[in-house]
């Protein structure tokens, strides 16, 4: 499946994050991780030139393991605070974020540079049955679902996010430089970093925040969706749509 979707995350080699000046609408949560408790991994594995100098690669966010049944899950957990652009600025809580694919094989989820050599990434290929989602400790849930059948989503939240790498990224495989754009062009190379910052957006139908939420155990983090995350240095910019 190839797509250029508004729900994507990009990363720049340098720059500051864009600030939101508009007042938040009801039902739009804007949260920022304040700590990462587990799954502190952001990685990109180069698969080579798609043509014209546009590299692509396998994307990973979180620590990955086979669930022993039918899926490989990559999860990141931590604490968050709602930003000034959110409904309840300063409110805090915990989150569990997951990307997953069917089976116990290698990661099939791919991203590509948005322009030749660019460190901005866009979703390139996500197989059926793969998804991204987040569950907050409050019970609020959001995912991106482009698959069939549709995923149970009791609070109807739509997810978008941006992740940032630390300046201490490690590259292997001999890319021309230790940067996302270069790694994507170099088949067999890799870029791995701790997560320096992680921002998420949860949007609800009609911009209305749910008044009731299911118990987290009732959701069991089920979804079929897609998304993408990019990398940069100490708040190297990652801009969502």
Which pLDDT does position 204 carry in this prediction?
A: 84
Q: How many domains does one find in the chain?
A: 1
The verdict on residue 203 lying in a domain is yes
Q: Establish if 95 belongs to a structural domain.
A: yes
Widest CA span in the chain: 52
What tokens appear for 178 in the block?
């230790």
How far, in Å, CA of 195 to CA of 163, rounded?
A: 7
Q: Is residue 36 part of a domain?
A: yes
Looking at the domain assignment, is residue 238 inside a domain?
no
Report residue 89 as tokens.
């600025």
In a domain, 235, yes or no: no
Write down the pLDDT at residue 5.
30
User: Does any domain span residue 180?
Assistant: yes
- Amino acid 228: pLDDT: 36
CA 171 distance to own-chain centroid: 20
**End-to-end Cα, the chain, rounded Å:** 20
Q: What is the pLDDT of residue 150?
A: 55
Q: What is the pLDDT of residues 122-144, one digit of tens each?
A: 778 888 888 889 999 988 888 87
Domain that holds residue 54: 28-219
pLDDT, one tens digit for every residue, the chain (241 residues): 333 333 344 333 322 222 223 344 457 899 999 999 999 999 999 999 999 999 999 999 999 999 999 999 999 999 999 999 998 999 999 999 999 899 999 999 999 998 999 887 877 888 888 888 999 998 888 887 666 555 667 677 888 888 888 888 999 999 999 999 999 999 999 999 999 999 999 988 776 777 655 444 333 433 322 333 333 332 322 223 3
Query: Is residue 227, in this structure, part of any structural domain at all?
Result: no
Give pTM, 2 decimals: 0.77
Query: What does DSSP say about strands 190-193 and 170-172: parallel, antiparallel, or unpaired?
Result: antiparallel
Residue 90 lies in a domain: yes
Q: Which residues of 6-34 are buried (b: 16+ CB within 10 A; e: fewer)?
A: ebbbbbbbeeebeeeeeebeebbbbbbbe
Q: How far apart are CA 217 and CA 79, in angstroms?
A: 18
């Amino acid at each position: 499946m190839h797509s250029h979707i508004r729900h994507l995350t990009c990363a720049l080699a340098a720059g500051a994050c864009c600030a939101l000046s508009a007042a938040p609408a009801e039902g739009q949560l804007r949260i920022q991780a304040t700590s990462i408790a587990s799954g502190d991994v952001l990685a990109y594995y180069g698969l080579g030139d798609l043509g014209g100098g546009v590299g692509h690669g396998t994307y990973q966010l979180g620590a990955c393991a086979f669930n022993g049944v039918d899926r490989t899950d990559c999860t990141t957990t931590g604490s968050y605070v709602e930003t000034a652009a959110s409904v309840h600025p300063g409110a805090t809580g915990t989150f569990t974020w997951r990307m997953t694919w069917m089976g116990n094989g290698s990661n099939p989820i791919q991203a590509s540079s948005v322009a030749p050599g660019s460190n901005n990434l866009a979703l390139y290929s996500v197989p059926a049955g793969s998804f991204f989602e987040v569950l907050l400790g409050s019970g609020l849930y959001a995912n991106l679902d482009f698959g069939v059948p549709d995923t149970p989503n009791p609070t109807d939240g739509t997810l978008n996010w941006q992740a940032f790498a630390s300046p201490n990224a490690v590259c292997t495989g001999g890319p021309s430089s230790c940067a996302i754009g270069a790694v994507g062009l170099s088949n067999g190379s890799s870029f791995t970093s701790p997560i320096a910052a992680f921002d998420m957006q949860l949007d609800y139908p009609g911009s209305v925040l749910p008044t009731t939420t299911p118990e987290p155990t009732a959701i069991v983090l089920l979804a079929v969706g897609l998304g993408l995350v990019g990398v940069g240095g100490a708040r190297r910019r990652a801009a969502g749509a």
